[in-house]
């Protein structure tokens, strides 16, 4: 086989294992190499080369590498829990700051319990045990699940085009993770397990600093928002994909859709009530990461405010950019429209103060072609029963509205905080849910391909990490825009778009990963989705469009 590695062409025997081919380099690599990319698809280091292609080693300083590391760590923790407490009902709840919040629902979490689990984790890591991928046919898998009373990997029986079932074994322990795992337990070097909230945290390093564990940052409001939705869905008995699919197959999914939508109605109504009760609130500020459904949320909140006798007036932050010649540049010398310095904050604050004092203003319109503000005779004025509603990436940052007294502001953070897990060991990333939403919306309303969206996504994430996430805890309230059923609807739109991305593109591995995740969802009919649903912002048919 002819394999391109970096700038070299290597001649290798068919069946050569990647870890053997690059043994010395892998052993010496820092950060640690945990997987490889072959023809733009992420593979195990145990991958056998049987065709020509291009190969790249993946370390934990990359997004894909840290995913592999994180899966390996959770696999080891799950193995340790099963060995120390065989009857424990262990589950991954959700991700916080470089940590996964876990729980054991049928046991009290004590320091002694944590210590016993951690001791076993350390033993497993020190033993550098192999993690072996084993496959079986679907027929063999059906027999396997008949004999073993387990849900581990059972979802693999669902997809019709999946010919084989995979389980990962380490000694006598088996489990399934939806993605590549490390080939041995010894790759895990940095982690921590500590008691937290109703469970315990499994912490891991960031890919920016893979050699150390950074201090854990508390996010109490985010945790409260996640737990609120998780508790509701546990009551509904829909907290895993297995249970969601069961509801689809049994024909009860429409009821769950209505209940999920009712939860949004209740939350939005409550936010409007809070604003109405506080007569000092004059400016409502909304911010959140991409594809959080901010636009539809703002429209629905406006309706609820009107029911409370408050008439909202919308002001677009995008009309307050500085002139193009004054726009700051990023580290690459490109115009940076996402930094807060790209906004004319002096003009924005002075206009808001005039509105709050009852004055009329001349509202600007930013001409993005010319890169300049224009005044076209648009005027604004706030009456006593009106509030100003603004939405933008910097709205939670008090530097944006630095002249506006705190008591006049009400800040809302909105994000798609996914609480549905594939199963008890595999969570669905909030970022993945937003990405699937954006892929669908970009095609529906902007005619961007899935490739276009995936190429832009890292830049979008960097902007969110810099301008939105650091300020989320400054919000007065958080709104979770996720819907437990949404990926079952988005699947039919997203999968064909992702399938168009060929292996000659670097984004191919990400497309394949998302396709694999979505393939486990049962299709949910679009006709069941209410026309005022936040999900309609992405699939179309909204009453607000």
By CB atoms closer than 10 A (0-12, 13-18, 19+), residue 169 is middle
d(CA 176, CA 426): 9
Show the tokens assigned to 382. 């706030």
End-to-end CA distance of the chain: 54
Across residues 138-164, what is the average pLDDT? 89
Task: Report residue 491's pLDDT band, with 50, 70 and 90 as the boundaries.
Answer: very high
Q: 284-317 b/e with 16+ CB inside 10 Å = b?
A: bbbbbbbbbbbebbbbbbbebbeeeebebeebeb
3-state class (DSSP) for residue 511: helix
Task: Report residue 198's pLDDT band, with 50, 70 and 90 as the boundaries.
Answer: confident
Residue ranges covered by each domain of the chain? 2-59, 225-310+407-539, 312-384
Across residues 500-524, what is the average pLDDT? 96
d(CA 73, CA 427): 14
Q: Which residues pair with 58 in a beta bridge?
A: 35
Residues 6+ apart with CB under 8 A from 331: none
pLDDT greater than 90 at residue 256: yes
pLDDT score at 187 = 96
d(CA 417, CA 511): 21
pLDDT greater than 80 at residue 465: yes
Residues 6+ apart with CB under 8 A from 269: 304
Task: Report residue 520's pLDDT band, with 50, 70 and 90 as the boundaries.
Answer: very high
pLDDT greater than 80 at residue 406: yes
pLDDT score at 149 = 86
Across residues 308-334, what is the average pLDDT? 91
By CB atoms closer than 10 A (0-12, 13-18, 19+), residue 506 is middle
Q: What is the CATH code of the structural domain delimited by 2-59?
A: 3.10.20.30
3-state class (DSSP) for residue 9: strand
pLDDT greater than 80 at residue 234: no
Whether residue 349 contacts residue 357, with contact meaning beta carbons closer than 8 Å, is answered with: no
pLDDT score at 257 = 95
Across residues 429-458, what is the average pLDDT? 96
Q: What's the mean pLDDT when you consider all of the chain?
A: 94
d(CA 280, CA 409): 8
Show the tokens assigned to 260. 């999920």
The tens digit of pLDDT for each residue in 163-185 reads 899 999 999 999 999 999 999 99
pLDDT score at 210 = 94
d(CA 485, CA 523): 10
DSSP H helical segments within 44-110, as ranges?
A: 63-84
Helix and strand tally (H, E) in the chain?
A: 15, 23
d(CA 204, CA 273): 40
The tens digit of pLDDT for each residue in 261-305 reads 999 999 999 999 999 999 999 999 999 999 999 999 999 999 999
pLDDT score at 330 = 84
pLDDT score at 381 = 95
pLDDT score at 236 = 80
pLDDT greater than 80 at residue 161: no
The tens digit of pLDDT for each residue in 63-111 reads 999 999 999 999 999 999 999 999 999 999 889 999 999 999 999 999 9
Whether residue 472 contacts residue 222, with contact meaning beta carbons closer than 8 Å, is answered with: yes
**Which phi and psi angles does 50 have, rounded to 5°?**
-130, 10
User: What is the layout of strands, in order, in the sheet containing 173-175?
Assistant: 132-137, 164-170, 173-175
3-state class (DSSP) for residue 21: helix
The tens digit of pLDDT for each residue in 343-372 reads 999 999 999 999 999 999 999 999 989 999
């Amino acid at each position: 086989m002819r394999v391109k590695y970096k700038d070299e062409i290597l001649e290798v025997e068919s069946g050569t294992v990647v870890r053997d081919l690059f043994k010395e380099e892998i052993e010496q690599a820092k950060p640690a190499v945990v997987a490889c990319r072959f023809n733009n698809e992420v593979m195990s280091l145990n991958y056998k080369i049987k065709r020509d292609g291009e190969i790249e080693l993946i370390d934990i300083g990359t997004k894909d590498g840290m995913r592999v590391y994180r899966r390996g760590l959770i696999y080891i923790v799950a193995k340790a829990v099963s060995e120390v407490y065989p009857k424990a009902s262990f589950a991954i709840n959700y991700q916080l700051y470089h940590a996964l919040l876990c729980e054991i629902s049928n046991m009290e979490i004590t320091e002694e319990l944590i210590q016993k689990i951690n001791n076993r984790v350390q033993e497993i890591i020190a033993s550098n045990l192999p993690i072996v991928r084993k496959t079986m046919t679907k027929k063999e898998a059906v027999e396997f699940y008949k004999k073993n009373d387990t849900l581990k990997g059972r979802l693999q029986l669902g997809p019709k085009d999946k010919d084989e079932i995979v389980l990962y074994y380490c000694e006598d322990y088996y489990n399934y993770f939806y993605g590549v795992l490390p080939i041995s337990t010894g790759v895990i070097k940095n982690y921590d397990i500590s008691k937290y909230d109703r469970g315990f945290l499994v912490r891991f390093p960031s890919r920016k600093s893979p050699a150390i564990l950074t201090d854990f940052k508390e996010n109490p409001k985010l945790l409260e928002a996640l737990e609120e939705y998780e508790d509701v869905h546990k009551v509904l008995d829909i907290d895993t994909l297995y249970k969601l699919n069961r509801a689809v197959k049994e024909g009860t999914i429409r009821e769950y859709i209505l209940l999920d939508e009712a939860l949004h109605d209740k939350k939005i109504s409550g936010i409007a009530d809070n604003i109405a009760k506080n007569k000092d609130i004059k400016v409502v500020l909304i911010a959140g990461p991409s594809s959080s459904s901010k636009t539809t949320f703002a429209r629905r909140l406006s309706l609820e405010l009107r029911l409370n006798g408050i008439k909202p007036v919308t002001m677009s932050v995008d009309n307050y950019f500085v002139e193009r010649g004054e726009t700051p540049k990023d580290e690459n010398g490109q115009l940076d429209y996402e930094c807060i310095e790209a906004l004319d904050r002096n003009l924005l604050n002075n206009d808001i103060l005039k509105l709050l004092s009852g004055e009329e203003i001349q509202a600007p319109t930013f001409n993005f072609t010319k890169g300049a503000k224009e005044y076209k005779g648009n005027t604004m004025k706030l009456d006593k029963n009106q509030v100003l509603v603004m939405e933008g990436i910097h709205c939670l940052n008090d530097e944006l509205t630095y002249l506006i007294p705190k008591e006049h502001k009400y800040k809302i953070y909105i994000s798609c905080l996914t609480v549905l897990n594939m199963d008890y060991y595999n969570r669905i990333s909030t970022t993945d849910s937003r990405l699937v939403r954006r892929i669908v919306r970009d095609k529906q309303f902007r005619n961007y391909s899935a490739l276009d969206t995936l190429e832009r996504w890292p830049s979008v994430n960097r902007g969110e990490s810099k301008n939105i996430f650091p300020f989320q805890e400054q919000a007065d309230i958080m709104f979770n825009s996720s819907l437990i059923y949404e990926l079952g609807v988005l699947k039919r739109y997203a999968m064909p778009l992702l399938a168009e991305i060929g292996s000659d593109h670097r984004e191919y591995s990400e497309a394949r990963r998302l396709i694999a995740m979505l393939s486990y969802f049962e299709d949910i009919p679009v006709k069941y989705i209410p026309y005022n649903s936040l999900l309609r912002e992405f699939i179309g048919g909204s009453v607000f469009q």
